[in-house]
Structure 1
Amino acid sequence: MKYTKQEWFTPAEVVIHNTATDCWVSLDGKVRDLTSWLQDQLKLCKCKKSCSCTVKNWYCDNSCVEYCNCFKRGFSYCDAKRPAMTILAYAGKDVSHWFKGDEWVHYIHPVVASRTEHHQHGHGYRRPVVPSTLWRPFTNPWWLDESNVVGKLTQRTRPIQITNTLTSSSVTLEVCSEETIYQIMMRYLPHNSHMLSYTWRYLGRGLKYDKTLAENGIPDERDRFNELALPENLHIPDLLLYYNDDLTEDPPKDDCLCHDMNCVLDRPEKCYEDVQF
């Protein structure tokens, strides 16, 4: 097994990426990192600027501010930045309802009666609603660009409890139902850097590490609990870790495997190269 890059994400892991410098969205089951696209969009503003100086000279004083015409018209941001502001408003959320297939959802505009795309914060300057020579098609649209895909969004999360029988310590994790035991190990690694010396079992039987929890016969009974009006966390399946006493030691600190908590959480690519267990 190799230390692998995370493939599945929970909604809770996506929602924390909700700023202009760290912007993720989920779309049709894919998690996309739009940070670089957003930064490029925020730089767009082709409106003519006007000076704030009361007296117009060939020079401006130190208090001069350039105003975009969009601000004068009452908008809170430039027309060129509308697509970016729409994405930023929904950063960390699912935007699948914006699209039908590979295209935006359309509607009939109530004023001009034209079939147009439904943008949450209005249209940008390159795609006006009314017929105009300014209209331009999308080039390399972000929702079709596979280079910004960082992983997949889980269809369902589930809690799992992991107990170290050697230390009697226990931790409850929220994992993706599609993840294999190997991938769950990666989530558990920050809690036990010496995890490789343990055997994982459930109800006394060994687990197939390349299979999911369900494929290993570990049920998710929350739906049954809900039908009986019982709390969902009434019972959480518990995976038991048994120490093998293989006389191995924790990995050395200079190989990024992974005593540094930031190395585990951020998972830089250098941590995956030629590292096997």
Structure 2
Amino acid sequence: MTARAAGGAMEKFQARYFTPREVSAHAQPGDLWVSYLGRVYDLSPLVRQHKGDVLLRPILEAAGKDISHWFNPKTRDIQTHVDPLTGCVKYYTPQGRFIHISPQLPRSDWANDFGLPWWKDSKYEVGILASKTRRVRIVNTLTSQEHVLEVCAEESMWEILRRYLPHNAHAASYTWKYEGVNLDMDKTLEQNKIPDEDAEFYRLNLDADLYTPGILLYFNDDLTEF
């Protein structure tokens, strides 16, 4: 594959998938990600905008975590309840009131002209949370080096190749094979008939990490690099 063809293939994949482990790595006030309802959000700009506001506390405490339990999955809005004090339907925030949640009672110092609340604002979305992750062993037959990657089950082989680039900048210069068969780089592991056998391991009460499928890379004598 030429560098131009490989580069074009890589550019096709605009959707980004993230593992829970990757989300958890962004757990600082200056670099704060959360996930909810299957999506990943970078709330760092929100934190900077409201720096010092006490209403940031629940968000700061949720840094790097999945907060789907804050939401009603049908409405994709914050959970609600009937406020016992006012008898009105209000957002339910047992973790504490946070940015863009109105106070329990009307207050003259609370402005509601902020537009979309942060959890409805798509500008914070950075990608999709993996529904499941898998481990794969990448073996470079030229150098005999092996690397185990945690990947998202939804990712194509091109996206897995992208994850492997830190270990081998010329990864696209190799033919990727599983059990002697060339892999279709536009398809996922499952679509390439690399089965996910975790359920079978769990059924047998075995550690799924005892077996990691191996993908073999064969050098094509062409130094494609990204």
Quickly name the TM-score band, shorter chain normalised. 0.7 to 0.9
Per-residue deviation, residues 184-215 of structure 1 (Å, max 9, x unmatched) = 00001111112222110000011100000000
Distance 1:126 1:93 in 2: 20
SS in 2 for 1:143: helix
Distance 1:195 1:229 in 2: 36
Compared with structure 1, are the counterparts of its residues 223 and 126 closer, same or farther at alpha carbon in structure 2 (3 Å cutoff)? Answer: closer
Asked whether the equivalents of residues 107 and 117 of structure 1 are also in contact (C-alpha less than 8 Å), the reply is yes
1:110 shift after superposition: 4.2
- Specify the alignment match of 1:234 in structure 2: 210
Moved more, 185-194 or 106-115: 106-115
- Specify the alignment match of 1:66 in structure 2: none
Question: Identity of counterpart residues, as a percentage?
Answer: 40
Distance 1:87 1:34 in 2: 9
1:92 matched to 2:92? no
TM-score between both structures, scaled by the size of structure 1? 0.71
1:193 matched to 2:166? no
- Specify the alignment match of 2:54 in structure 1: 81
The one of 32, 35, 60 equivalent to 1:26 is: 35
Distance 1:191 1:125 in 2: 43
Distance 1:123 1:211 in 2: 41
Asked whether the equivalents of residues 6 and 183 of structure 1 are also in contact (C-alpha less than 8 Å), the reply is no
1:161 shift after superposition: 0.6
Distance 1:154 1:23 in 2: 18
Question: How many residue pairs were aligned?
Answer: 213
Distance 1:167 1:125 in 2: 54
SS in 2 for 1:42: coil
Larger radius of gyration: 1
Unaligned runs of 5+ in 1: 44-79, 252-256, 258-277
Unaligned runs of 5+ in 2: 1-5
Asked whether the equivalents of residues 134 and 150 of structure 2 are also in contact (C-alpha less than 8 Å), the reply is yes
Distance 2:101 2:171 in 1: 54
